[in-house]
Amino acid sequence: MQHHSNPQATIFALATPPGISGVAVIRISGPDAKRIYQSMIRATPEPRLAQLVKLYAADGHTVIDQALSLYFPAPNSFTGEDVVELQTHGGRAVIQAVLSALAALPGYRLAQPGEFTRRAFANEKLDLTQVEALGDLLHAQTEAQRRQAMAQLSGVMGDQYRHWADGLTRILAHYEAYLDFPDEPIPADIESGLQQRLAELQQTIATHLADDRRGEMLREGLRIAIIGPPNAGKSSLLNALAQREAAIVSATAGTTRDVISVDMDLGGYPITLYDTAGLRESADAIEIEGMRRAQLTAQQADLRILVFDATDPAATTDALWQQYRVEPYLLVWNKADLGERPKARGESILLSTKTGYNLDALLVVLSGKAKEMLGQSEGAVITRLRHREALRACLDAITRSVVAGLPELRAEDLRLARRELGRITGQVDVEDLLDIIFRDFCIGK
């Protein structure tokens, strides 16, 4: 596979973050990677063994640093090319000197963002779902995100879709065989067998798609909007959950205007909490804009926490209640320290952000919800819209094929269905996608 960069160049980059650290890793990949053992290192490379070496500057006698070198001969390396990894001391001057010395070597140039991974993909070390998983793993903030990324990196997803594509290929082969002999119709028993297999695959893919977006939500974080009337204690609740004063709290109704968000790790699940403006009748233009944002946030959220003041008998005015009781939601009565709770409307939690009473109970319920909404089943999980769209297109093509009259049309739709699966794993038609996918990578990956 040809890319905009010259695949013949030997590329190098710092793989660890720049700055002061105990160790810095510098990665080199390409046909001339091994050559640094003659110039910079002056030792015989030992495949897959750590060697303690001196790194020499271009003048041939100045020692830049003492380092560990690792040599991975092609094709058994991350990129599939010859790879050398240097573990140098992690100081700015050391790193700079080593990078300068590498840049001076013939055929060497600094890697572009994501270029190591791109070469790994080009050399079929990783399929596209694994490339994406690698990006997800590096960005994983919580335990559940890490697990999901690791599962995808192991290749389960690619295996699943290749398996389905193989099934389509076998069915297609039957139709194609008969296409060559137009005078012979497909025997009815064979035809019904093929249709049966297609119906099964259709069902399997439909079930796979009906996942309530768990994988995508886990990757992006569960969005939880805190909404309710002014002064109910929404900002106080956000602060209590975040354990810091992220939002302004005051006795003045209508304090919060902008949407304030806080990222949290809830038992391994990533969530983003949004504090919003209290909802009420108002003539104030700024407050109205705040409420518009609050409503938008509430609509877009994956889960809503409705907060009401437990001492306010008119707390759940019907209009407010009807409008915001959008599933899924949790009902919270705040200010338990002040007195009675109004008649509960469905399941609810009575708490006090002031004393902390029952905050732990809310956290338990919230983590339960997060687990219920994001928790994974075994096997392949859809983690981004790109996968979902291709799967939908695949399913549509199979459905068209099932109702198509002519065998030629059936075959064509099956080819299209298979192609969509191939797009997910990167087997076909992905040149246009690569730039988008690798754009999120940084140099050294």
Ligand X SMILES: Nc1nc2c(ncn2[C@@H]2O[C@H](COP(=O)(O)OP(=O)(O)OP(=O)(O)O)[C@@H](O)[C@H]2O)c(=O)[nH]1
Dihedral in degrees, nearest 10, Cα atoms 342, 319, 365, 212: 160
Please say which residue, 117 or 334, places its beta carbon nearer to Mg ion. Answer: 334
**Which of ligand X, Mg ion, none does residue 383 bind to, with CB < 5 to 8 Å depending on kind?**
none
> Residue 297, interface with Mg ion (CB under 5 A)?
no
Q: Which residue number places its CB atom closest to ligand X?
A: 278
Give the pair of three-digit tokens for residue 405: 């009259």
Minimum Å gap between C-beta 233 and ligand X is 3
Q: Which does 142 bind (CB under 5 to 8 A by kind): Mg ion, ligand X, none?
A: none
Min dist. Cβ of residue 238 to Mg ion (A): 8
Report in angstroms how near the CB of residue 312 gets to Mg ion at its nearest: 15
Among residues 129 and 256, whose Cβ is nearest to Mg ion?
A: 256
> Smallest distance from the beta carbon of 98 to ligand X, in angstroms?
54
- What is the side-by-side order of every strand in the sheet holding 260-266? 260-266, 269-275, 222-227, 303-309, 329-334, 349-350
Residues 6+ apart with CB under 8 A from 15: 25, 26, 27, 85, 444, 445
Contact between 353 and Mg ion per CB under 5 A: no
Among Mg ion, ligand X, none, what binds residue 361 when CB lies within 5 to 8 Å by partner kind?
none
Q: How far is the CB of 365 from ligand X (least distance, A)?
A: 17
Nearer to ligand X, 94 or 320 (CB): 320
Q: Is 29 helix (H, G, I), strand (E, B) or coil?
A: strand
- Answer whether 353's CB lies under 8 Å from 237's CB: yes
Q: Strands of 222-343 (E only): list them.
A: 222-227, 260-266, 269-275, 303-309, 329-334
The binder of 173, among ligand X, Mg ion, none, by C-beta within 5 to 8 A per type, is: none
Q: Which residues bind ligand X (CB under 6 A)?
A: 230-236, 249-251, 253-256, 277-278, 334-335, 337-338, 352-354
Q: How far is CA 386 from CA 49, 377, 391, in A?
A: 40, 20, 9
Q: Residue 85: in which H helix or E strand, if any?
A: strand 83-90
140 vs 142: CA distance, rounded Å: 6
**Per CB under 5 A, does 256 bind Mg ion?**
yes
Q: Which does 442 bind (CB under 5 to 8 A by kind): ligand X, Mg ion, none?
A: none
For ligand X, the closer CB: 280 or 384: 280
Closer residue to Mg ion in complex, CB, 79/256? 256
Q: What gap in Å lies between CA 304 and CA 342, rounded to an integer?
A: 20
From the list Mg ion, ligand X, none, which binds 87 (C-beta under 5 to 8 Å, kind-based)?
none
> Taking CB within 5 to 8 Å according to partner kind, which of ligand X, Mg ion, none is near residue 195?
none
Q: How far is the CB of 278 from Mg ion (least distance, A)?
A: 6
Smallest separation (angstroms) from Mg ion to the CB of 342: 21
* Angle between helix 156-179 and helix 407-425 axes, rounded to 10 deg: 160
Backbone angles phi, psi at 307, to 5 degrees: -110, 130
d(Cα 392, Cα 406) in Å, to the nearest integer? 23
Q: Considering the complex, state which of residue 123 and residue 255 has its C-beta at the smaller distance from Mg ion.
A: 255
We find the least distance from the C-beta atom of residue 257 to ligand X, in angstroms, to be 8
Stretch in the footprint of Mg ion (CB under 5 A) among 102-110, 232-240, 330-338, 342-350? 232-240
In contact, 94 and 87? CB cutoff 8 Å: no
Interface pick for Mg ion out of 142, 235, 353, 425 (rule CB under 5 A): 235
**Nearest distance from residue 94's CB to ligand X, in Å?**
51
Q: Is the separation of the CB atoms in 109 and 65 below 8 Å?
A: no
**Residue among 133, 211, 159 nearest 441 (CA):** 133
Would you say 69 or 239 has its CB closer to Mg ion? 239
Sign of the torsion angle spanned by Cα atoms 243, 246, 252, 256: negative
Q: Which residues bind Mg ion (CB under 5 A)?
A: 234-235, 255-256
